[in-house]
Amino acid sequence: MVERKNYSTFQGVVADGPTGLFMGFKTFANMIEPDKPYTCSEVMWFKSGHIRTIQSDLIKVINEVRQ
């Protein structure tokens, strides 16, 4: 599980809620600098149920499950 950093600051703007389930990473091509792709996190947000990308440094792990 992950949580948005500084959620209280953006609470009125963010409809997805503060916590979600980390699904993995997604990499996008960089059109300006093709040799530098952009990678971000994909999170399924509990409040909205949506899976969205978010800049990885804007979330923190709050519960880690290992098998």
Q: pLDDT tens across 10-25, in order? A: 655 566 778 999 999 9
Which range (14-18, 36-40, 42-46, 58-62) has the least confidence?
Answer: 14-18
Q: Report yes or no on whether pTM surpasses 0.75.
A: yes
Closest CA to 8 of 21, 18, 20: 18
Q: Check residue 17 and give its pLDDT.
A: 77
Domain ranges of the chain: 2-59
Q: Check residue 39 and give its pLDDT.
A: 95
Q: Check residue 22 and give its pLDDT.
A: 95
Residue 35, phi then psi, degrees to nearest 5: -85, 5
What distance in Å separates the CA atoms of residue 14 and residue 12, rounded to the nearest whole number? Answer: 6
Helix (H) or strand (E) holding 10: helix 7-10
